[in-house]
Amino acid sequence: MNAKEIAIYNKIKQAIIQQKLRPNMQLVETEIAESFGVSRTPIRNVLRRLSYERLVKIIANKGTFVTSSSKEEAKEVFEMRRILEGEAVKKACLLATEEQLLELEQMVEEEEKTHLDIEYYDAIQMSGEFHLKIAEMAGNSYFYQYLEDLISLTHVIISIYGKNQEEKDACLHHRHIFHAIKKRDEQLAAELALEHLIDMENNLQFSDKNQLSVSLTEIFNPK
Amino acid sequence: MNAKEIAIYNKIKQAIIQQKLRPNMQLVETEIAESFGVSRTPIRNVLRRLSYERLVKIIANKGTFVTSSSKEEAKEVFEMRRILEGEAVKKACLLATEEQLLELEQMVEEEEKTHLDIEYYDAIQMSGEFHLKIAEMAGNSYFYQYLEDLISLTHVIISIYGKNQEEKDACLHHRHIFHAIKKRDEQLAAELALEHLIDMENNLQFSDKNQLSVSLTEIFNPK
DNA sequence: GTATACGAGATTGTATACAATTTCTTATAT
DNA sequence: ATATAAGAAATTGTATACAATCTCGTATAC
Q: Provide the pLDDT for residue A166.
A: 58
A221 CA, C1 C1': Å apart? 25
Nucleotide nearest to A39 (CA to C1'): D15
Closest by alpha carbon to A133, among A170, A166, A184, A174?
A174
Tell whether A194 is within 8 A of chain B (Cβ): no
Return phi, psi of residue B162, to 5°. Answer: -70, 155
Q: Strand C: which nucleotides have any atom within 7 A of a protein Cβ?
A: 10-17, 20-23
Percent of chain A with pLDDT over 70: 88
Range of lowest pLDDT (A76-80, B1-5, B49-53): B1-5
* Cβ(A74)–Cβ(A151) below 8 Å: no
Percent of chain A with pLDDT over 90: 74
Distance from C-alpha of B128 to C-alpha of B124, rounded to nearest angstrom: 6
Query: How confident is the model over A99-121, as a mean pLDDT?
Result: 85
Q: Provide the pLDDT for residue A220.
A: 41
Distances (CA, A) of A21 to A4, A32, A47, B112, B216: 21, 12, 13, 52, 49
The pLDDT mean for chain A works out to 89
Distance from C-alpha of A88 to C-alpha of B139, rounded to nearest angstrom: 22
Residue A206 confidence class, pLDDT cut points 50, 70, 90: confident
More confident residue, A119 or B193: B193
- Does the distance separating the beta carbons of B49 and A45 come in below 8 Å? no
The 10s digit of each residue's pLDDT in A124-176 is 788 899 999 999 999 999 999 999 999 999 999 998 898 866 566 788 999 99
Q: Provide the pLDDT for residue B215.
A: 42
Nearest CB partner across the interface for B83, out of A2, A45, A87: A87
Nearest CB partner across the interface for A79, out of B48, B79, B140: B140
Among chain A residues, CA nearest to B42: A45
Residue A112 confidence class, pLDDT cut points 50, 70, 90: confident
Q: How far apart are the first and last CA of chain B?
A: 42
Describe the strand order of the beta sheet including B26-27 as a list of residue ranges.
B26-27, B63-66, B56-59
- How far is it between the farthest Cα atoms of chain B? 59
Q: Which residues contact B10 (CB under 8 A, 6 or more apart)?
A: none
Q: Is A114 left (phi over 0), alpha (psi -120 to 50) or beta?
A: alpha
Query: How confident is the model over B29-56, as a mean pLDDT?
Result: 96
The 10s digit of each residue's pLDDT in A65-91 is 999 999 999 999 999 999 999 999 999
Give chain A's radius of gyration (CA, Å).
19
More confident residue, A6 or B125: A6
Q: Provide the pLDDT for residue A57.
A: 96
Q: Which of A47, A61, A91, A140 to mutate to test the interface with B (most CBs of B within 10 A)?
A: A140
The 10s digit of each residue's pLDDT in B177-193 is 999 999 999 999 999 99
